[in-house]
Structure 1
Amino acid sequence: MIPRTIETPPADSAGGRGSQGNAASSITETMPQHLRNLATTDPTGVAMQEKRYGIWQPMTWQLYYQRVREFSSGLAELGVIRGDIVAVLGDNRPEWLIAELAAQTLGASVVGIYPTSIGDELTHILESSAARVVVAEDQEQVDKLLALKTAQEAAGLAFGIDTIVFYDPHGLEQYTDSILLDFTEVEARGARALATNSDWLDSQMSQGDVDDIAVICTTSGTTSKPKLAYLSHANLLSMAANLDSIDPITPNYRYVSILPFAWIGEQMLAVACGLLKGMAISFPEDASTQRADMREIGPDIMFAPPRIWESMLSEVQVRIDEAGKLKRAVFGWGYQISDRIAAEAASGRRAGTGLKMLGKLANLVATRPIREQLGLTRMKRCYTGGAPLGPDVFRFFHSIGVNLKQIYGQTEICGIAVVHRDDDISYTSVGTPIPGTEIRFSADHEILLRSSSVFRGYHRNPEATAEAVDTDGWLHTSDAGYLDEHGHLVVVDRLKDVKFAADSTMFSNAFIENKLKFSPYVEESVVFTDGAAVTAIITLDPSTVGAWAEHAKLPYTTYTDLAAKPEVFDLVAEEIVRANEDLSEAIRVSRFVLLHKQFDPDDDEITRTRKVRRSVIAQRYGPIIDALDSGAEDVTVDSTITYQDGTTLSREIPLRIYDLSTYTMPTDAARRQVWSGRK
């Protein structure tokens, strides 16, 4: 294939596509400098709010800026200087962003660590970044760091961290380790220093340059330990400006922060777009209250990986399946009408007057109540990325009136390079390049990207940097893809994983896996195509399969018990047969096994962003894979259970292997509606 280049034309008044560099040239201030401007122009406006004890606690732009200045001065008292790296470990709270902006004020940068990180993953990031100051959320995170300190000192190694600053003191009152310091104490120290010499901090902020490194984001790490990617203020803010040119954000927009700040997706919208446009950020009280808090706030914009949208659909399916016949019938009618309107819009056509009238009634009695339950009533637009989203799930949200868009990007290009436009949605693509972004394809179908948001390199890894970005500034994504007939980008998979079927169809294991995961009953799937047949390891979605089992009056105790039920095998077999209908005969799944457990990031089976680590799966479940390929009818695996008190129990679990060549679809099998777990 001859490499192709698509350069987006200049933006027009209708929000068209922009040329490369149009936003980058307008980025003249760092993120702390943007915060200073907001504190000056809108001092009493709400910058962020956090829910505590059931009450929303607002923070104005002026107070936000004041706390950033005090904490920044406090960090300077701890010895943080320009070029240093400060690590932040914990859930999303205002203190996370205060610490980030404070470090950047001094010319330092921040590396975020997922709050679920443990062991080697935590050690790798801390040692790679050489951070001497870590801002940790609470007792749980402090305990991880102190355990690491004890282990390294016992091994005769120096612990590289000088200070651990915690921002939730609950449970830490009796801790006496000298490296621990309360967040409020750092602010108090900073406030005292500012009282005698505030000019010094002002000069530090003024010295800030848009090319300074602002954030160091970890890559997904699906095939190796995550790398640390340098992202400058210009990288992040030019991305935000280019996205804003097609999807405008206004200061009255609301955003609910539910994803880790260590992930580029949250840095992309909550931080960069939030500071550029003055958008208010809300923090839910707890993971268990997120949905209720979203309903209270009514966000205008949202970004979430596919698993969030899939879980929302699963929630809808469970609720509707529990409803009475009349409510199910009303929703089914309303959804059918709304789906027709969404299909017309996706085809570039306008619904007729009669259909529009029916659509208003359908919205009133069917789709609006669903949006209200999901907290999406005010939503202007929302995005999904990080992995493919099933066309059926994608279409469902459009059918209930949610303007959901697929995006494509990587940490190395600030999370977004390609996105759908409001009037140009395709359920099987990721859209077209945002203004300022060029795209081309190498001879082996690799996607190449170039823009002002391409990162500045990997921390202490010049070899990997040279492999990622060539001398002409093109980012080599290592993903394979192509443009469809409408000029939309279709991403196939990682380049190394792309294969060609007997009929020359380009595919990958992940392509088949995503087809299987379109089923609401399948949480994860791992497909193997190197043997005599296409086989798969499947894990169940416990909520939807559990609801189905309850409706079918099928008793079960644990996930393992549910996965072993013959009725569940038949349920999943029918779903796989349906998925096979969309695949060429050469790549249809013929044998599968239902795993006795879900994949767990703590077991390194999936990443913190829910991407499967294929190498770990291949090694850990080798006997299952061999049995699938050999034609065996079952396989026995050893499973170790670790209890809360640390004791373990090993047991053997027999797993049945299902051969679809022996499966016959029931003659009365009805195709399941996307909004229901029932037939």
Structure 2
Amino acid sequence: MTTPAAGGRTEDRDTFPKLLALRAATGPDRPAYREKEYGIWQTYRWAQVADEVRRLAAGLADLGFRRGDRLIVVGDNRPRLYWSMCAAQALGGVPVPVYQDSVTDELAYVVEHAGARVAIAENQEQVDKLLEIRRRVPVLEVVIYVDPRGLRHYGDVLSYEAVQQRGAERLAAEPALVDAEVARGRGADDAIMLYTSGTTGRPKGAVLSYDNLVWAARAGAEFDGLREGDELLSYLPMAWVGDHLFSYAQGYVVGLVVNCPESAETVMTDLREIGPTYYFAPPRVLENLITQVTIRMEDAGVVKRRLFQYFMTLARRVGPALLDGRRVGLVDRLLYGLGTLLIYGPLKNTLGMSRVRVAYTAGEAVGPEIFNFYRALGVNMKQLYGQTEASVFVTIHPNGEVYSDTVGKPVSKVELRIAESGEVLYRSPGVFKEYFKNPEATNDTKTADGWVHTGDAGYLDERGHLRIIDRARDVGRLNDGTLFAPKFIENKLKFFPHINEAVAFGHGRDFVAVFVNIDMIAVGDWAERRNISYASYQELAGLREVHDLVEGEIAQVNRDLAADPRMAGAQIRRFLILHKALDADDGELTRTNKVRRGFIGERYKPLVDALYDGSRRARIKVDVTFEDGRKGMIEGDMEIRDLAPHPGSGPALPLRKAS
């Protein structure tokens, strides 16, 4: 990665270490990464990054890391962890980022399955897990840490700086060591291994090549006009394919400035300070932001609250049209301008979105109310549809064609096909190579001619946009033939700030029933303003007043469903509020916070049965994992409530056949 060998264009560079060399040669002083530490933003330029990566790569080589080896990377978003991935790739190795909140058993599975000899961890918390794993997974030999706090007296682990020092000494003796390995790299080589979320079983290691990722990075950048110097905040897990594509692959291909927050707790403050031009958030993050806005408005004075409600009503009608370049009357334009001055501008600044040119949401279906809220403010929010197996991009909303009920049109060189069963299939240059050590799963997912089964049910509408109904395995019918799409119903429920999570049941049943998780912050604030006392989540969730609140919001969802001919018969007839929050540590959610529907149905079977046998109350005891890792039990007695269907519901209409 030395400057003399770094000429050429980005189109000629087929691996990330080669692209890094080019960035360091053509723009050595341009900012590449920023990290907030002790309240101060530190900037790293491309030449510095290339030097950091080169010394670390040489240090790894000195520790015996070789072409084809796998490197575990675990921790929050930190420049040094991103650089460690490039250092492994410079030697022909394959980084394997792991979710930082993984419990020890989950992390141990990935270490053993990947056969990783070396791991780099952010801090003491992650080092402790790796050292415990090393005692029972003998393949893991070397543990390296970035943050030295709390690790002074740890033996048999190496600091990041110590490995770089070894690398500097090795380079003094062999100056061409790293450059020679970088030159050997090819676009078809394995670039990364990302473990899928595992909604139905053990995670699978999806192997992506440089060709996959470089194509996807360029295709996405060209689709929405990303340019060198665009800023983004990297706050989502490094083990998630979205972060790898946006923060890493597009960082090198486009020349983005990747900003790493100080901590998970400071993300909103850091977002406001950076003011990114390029933004990504999964639906859960967008929902949480709306919850915070709603709480603040409920606490505001009467005049401010009414002003907010008036201008938001106007924004929902006018904002999306202005974004799409459609005609808007002069009076509405003037009023929207006033709203921008009084409401929309300050609110976007609070959300850190004042400078956003392009924003995406993906990962799971987003409720139209949530999606339209941001577009109403003037944020160019789009939906994209993708998967780990696609190197993210399958479809994106084109400018001027943004609809809340679709996920856009295929990206360049992506082919779409709808199977007879209604399942969406795609083929593109981003299609993954394989599932590591799992040829059977690879063959089940990817056909011999490159088509990938998404597992999602959907269809192409008359505008050429893809519409996703739900996970194919989850879409079903009620006993009267009504279409049952649980995620569609759940997203409508989660639009309300008081509902954090919902799980809908109904396939093969006479009616739809749901579990609800309340949002502790939003409902807690609501209760305190009414002088309602509580001591815990379980106590708050059991209050009659909280049930009344949730019942009213479900009734609103039923009114919305009644207006949809396909879903009118799928109104919610019974519900209960769970006595505990669904948790990834308890296996109820994936590490990307997707509901593991089958697991929940089995774990809470007595509650599901009670929803359908006419019971008025139900009791259950389940295992839980506390924040400190201890195991325990939690028992709860839950009220079950009935709701009358909203007038106007009738027999479900048949689902339109996919084109």
Equivalent position of 2:555 in the other structure? 577
Equivalent position of 1:599 in the other structure? 582
Equivalent position of 1:466 in the other structure? 443
Aligned-partner SS, 2:473: helix
Q: Alpha carbons of 1:68 and 1:528: their partners in 2 closer, same or farther (altered >3 Å)? A: same
**Displacement, 1:435?**
1.2
Give the conservation status (yes or no) of the 8 Å contact 1:134–1:165: yes
> Which of 122, 141, 145 is the aligned partner of 2:126?
141
Residue type of the alignment partner of 1:137: E
Equivalent position of 1:123 in the other structure? 108
**Displacement, 1:543?**
1.9
Give the conservation status (yes or no) of the 8 Å contact 1:221–1:607: yes
- Give yes or no for the alignment of 1:87 onto 2:72: yes
Residue type of the alignment partner of 2:576: V
Equivalent position of 1:568 in the other structure? 546
Q: Alpha carbons of 1:402 and 1:84: their partners in 2 closer, same or farther (altered >3 Å)? A: same
Q: Alpha carbons of 1:374 and 1:348: their partners in 2 closer, same or farther (altered >3 Å)? A: closer
Equivalent position of 1:106 in the other structure? 91
**Pairing 1:527-676 to 2, within 5 Å after superposition:** 527-529=504-506, 530-583=508-561, 584-639=567-622, 650=633, 652-661=635-644
Equivalent position of 2:210 in the other structure? 233
The two structures have a TM-score, normalised by structure 2, of 0.92
Equivalent position of 1:159 in the other structure? 138
Distance 1:641 1:106 in 2: 43
1:624-658 deviation per Cα after TM superposition (whole angstroms, max 9, x unaligned): 11111111000112256777788776564211111
1:513-565 deviation per Cα after TM superposition (whole angstroms, max 9, x unaligned): 22322322211111111334321111011122222223333222211111111
Give the conservation status (yes or no) of the 8 Å contact 1:346–1:426: no
> Which of 71, 81, 88 is the aligned partner of 1:96?
81
Equivalent position of 1:292 in the other structure? 269
| Unaligned ranges ≥5, structure 2 | 1-9, 562-566, 648-659
Distance 2:502 2:536 in 1: 20
Residue type of the alignment partner of 2:454: T
- State which drifts further: 407-416 or 328-337: 328-337
Q: Alpha carbons of 1:649 and 1:167: their partners in 2 closer, same or farther (altered >3 Å)? A: closer
**Pairing 1:196-595 to 2, within 5 Å after superposition:** 196-345=173-322, 349-501=326-478, 506-529=483-506, 530-583=508-561, 584-595=567-578
1:229-285 deviation per Cα after TM superposition (whole angstroms, max 9, x unaligned): 011111111011111112111222111110011100101111111111111111111
| Unaligned ranges ≥5, structure 1 | 1-24, 153-157, 665-679
Residue type of the alignment partner of 2:38: Y
Distance 2:421 2:327 in 1: 40
- Give yes or no for the alignment of 1:170 onto 2:141: no
Q: Alpha carbons of 1:225 and 1:434: their partners in 2 closer, same or farther (altered >3 Å)? A: same
**Displacement, 1:400?**
1.0
**Displacement, 1:451?**
0.7
Distance 1:562 1:598 in 2: 12
Give the conservation status (yes or no) of the 8 Å contact 2:235–2:267: yes
Give the conservation status (yes or no) of the 8 Å contact 2:359–2:381: yes
Distance 2:407 2:230 in 1: 25
**Displacement, 1:215?**
0.8
- State which drifts further: 443-452 or 630-639: 630-639
Give the conservation status (yes or no) of the 8 Å contact 2:199–2:594: yes
Give the conservation status (yes or no) of the 8 Å contact 1:27–1:234: no
- Give yes or no for the alignment of 1:35 onto 2:20: yes
Distance 2:98 2:245 in 1: 16
Residue type of the alignment partner of 2:287: E
Distance 1:285 1:222 in 2: 30
Distance 1:230 1:662 in 2: 48
Length, aligned pairs only:
632
**Displacement, 1:110?**
0.7
Task: Say which structure, 1 or 2, has more relative contact order (CA 8 Å, 6+ apart).
Answer: 1
Aligned-partner SS, 1:536: strand
Equivalent position of 1:5 in the other structure? none
Q: Alpha carbons of 1:347 and 1:259: their partners in 2 closer, same or farther (altered >3 Å)? A: closer
Distance 1:643 1:498 in 2: 33
When the two chains are superposed, the root-mean-square deviation of aligned CA atoms in Å is 2.0
The two structures have a TM-score, normalised by structure 1, of 0.90
- Give yes or no for the alignment of 1:68 onto 2:53: yes
Residue type of the alignment partner of 2:86: L
Distance 2:64 2:182 in 1: 17
Aligned-partner SS, 1:582: helix
**Displacement, 1:349?**
2.4
1:190-245 deviation per Cα after TM superposition (whole angstroms, max 9, x unaligned): 01111221212211111111111111011121001110001111111101111111
Residue type of the alignment partner of 1:159: P
**Displacement, 1:362?**
0.9
- State which drifts further: 297-306 or 141-150: 141-150
Give the conservation status (yes or no) of the 8 Å contact 1:331–1:367: no
Aligned-partner SS, 1:225: coil
